[in-house]
Amino acid sequence: QVQLVESGGGLVQPGGSLRLSCVASGSIFSINAMGWYRQAPGKERELVATMTRGGSTNYGDSVKGRFTISRDNAKNTVSLQMSSLKPEDTAVYYCNAGVRLTMTSKYSELWGQGTLVTVSS
């Protein structure tokens, strides 16, 4: 079974740091973009950061300069280093990846189950 599994969420004080990790497991031929989205209570899911297989990145405006995305193509992992966290960063963070299961299949979108990040004193 192909799936994305996140880890690293939790409670952190304002101004603190936290690192999220996500691994894609199962029989995967290739992965295109990997990244993170988040959804706060009562709000729509929004982009946090994505990275292509080649290393190009895209960040949401609210996290630029504070969050850093990285990935290991060989291990099918993507991480998000979050610094200078604010209460408004509180949300469920979802890992996302475009995966191709076989050489002839099209890319399909996978989502993780989400990990909760709470920024509060």
By the 8 A CB rule, do 119 and 14 touch?
Answer: yes
pLDDT of 10-66, one tens digit each?
Answer: 999 999 999 999 999 999 999 999 999 999 999 999 999 999 999 999 999 999 999
| pLDDT tens, position by position, 92-105 | 999 999 999 999 99
For residues 37 and 114, what is the distance between their CA atoms, to the nearest angstrom? 9
DSSP string, 51-71: E-TT--EEE-TTTTTTEEEEE
3-state secondary structure at position 12 = strand
Do 4 and 109 touch, CB atoms closer than 8 A?
Answer: no
Q: Among all chains, which residue has been given the structure tokens 């009562």?
A: 42
What length does the chain have? Answer: 121
Task: Identify the residue whose tokens are 């193509």.
Answer: 73
